[in-house]
Amino acid sequence: MADPRFFVNKGPFSVQQLLSLVDEGADIRGDGTLEVVDVAPLSEAGPQDISFLDNRKYISAFEESGAGACIVAPEFADRAPKGMTLILTTRPYRAYARVAHAFYQSATQSSGIHPAAFVDPGAELADGVSVGPGAVVEADAKLDNDVEIGAGAIVGHGVSIGAATRIGANASVEYCDIGARCEIHPGVRLGTRGFGFDMSAEGHLDVPQLGRVILGNDVEVGANSTIDRGAGPDTVIGDGCKIDNLVQIGHNVRMGQGCVVVAQAGVAGSTELQDFVVLAAQSGVAGHLTIAPGTQLAARSGIMRNTEMGDKLAGNPAIPAKEFFRQTAVLAKLTKDRNRKD
């Protein structure tokens, strides 16, 4: 069970109740009146727990699981242990997410303006806004309903934040507009100065960075990630983008909807990621490029030119992933051959 210091368990629920949370098309096999008290991994779940199977790797754990109930794709239903109640769905991971949301909420519900926060009298706060201890909301900021500002976070002058968005501890958001239901994690820096200057031996000269950062709705930005404001145009992050920890997004970057950028990846200035681009961990994209919808870049790889829709790339400079692994194999073979000759 999740640590009750941090999470409140709202169970029990009957399997039938949980079914109602799952996207339509799901079905029960077994006893829908069964009450479950918790979610748990297959290997640890007991008769009062509900688990899920999402990955073929874990089929034998499923076959041996003691879980009372399990969310599983129909094709694996017949592998279930006897007596296990099943929620059958083609998307078990998504269904598990909904069930886990039903079971748990954070134990730390903040509310109201903490006495150790500073909110400028010129800021506008809608109903239900909470501001944690040590946090700062500067003048002319506008916070919509149910916005949560974490302890020690800084909301700069004039920033607007949409309903139910959360800003994590010690994050700072400046020169930006943030949509609704976003999660800005601790230590994030939004709206910082872009890295724009004229290089010269007599001294580099800063070019004013006059744009903003615009975040859509349902955007997540991971801990200690940085998104620079635009140089003149804005830096724009589309609806539903998921950005992990320690990611760098340069000035003027535009991201379409639903892009995923994994930890420690970076996107250089003025590049466009179109919808549903995926950049794996520690990868990078050079500046001034257009990355086509659905492009996927492998971990530790670097894109140096525009891509085509659905490209799957790896290496540095990135090439089609299959080709990258073929080249890797050929170089290994050539090296082996040469050693044999020597």
| Cα dist from 74 to 63, 91, 98, 305, whole Å | 14, 10, 18, 42
Is 255 within 8 Å of 247 (Cβ atoms)? no
| Three-state DSSP class for residue 127 | coil
224 φ, ψ to 5°?
A: 60, 15
Marked catalytic residue, from 114, 157, 204, 251: 251
CA–CA gap between residue 231 and residue 102 (Å, rounded): 43
Minimum Å distance from CB 5 to a second copy? 3
| Nearest CA-CA partner of 36 in 96, 126, 112, 125 | 96
| Nearest CA-CA partner of 28 in 69, 68, 75 | 69
Minimum Å distance from CB 82 to a second copy? 25
CA–CA gap between residue 254 and residue 236 (Å, rounded): 5
Minimum Å distance from CB 207 to a second copy? 4
Minimum Å distance from CB 78 to a second copy? 24
Report long-range pairs for 262-268 (Cβ below 8 Å, ≥24 apart): 262/299, 263/222
- Indicate the pairing of strand 118-119 with strand 302-303: unpaired
Is residue 251 among the annotated active site residues? yes
| Cα dist from 28 to 74, 99, 139, whole Å | 10, 14, 54
| Nearest CA-CA partner of 142 in 128, 162, 168 | 162
Active-site residue set: 251
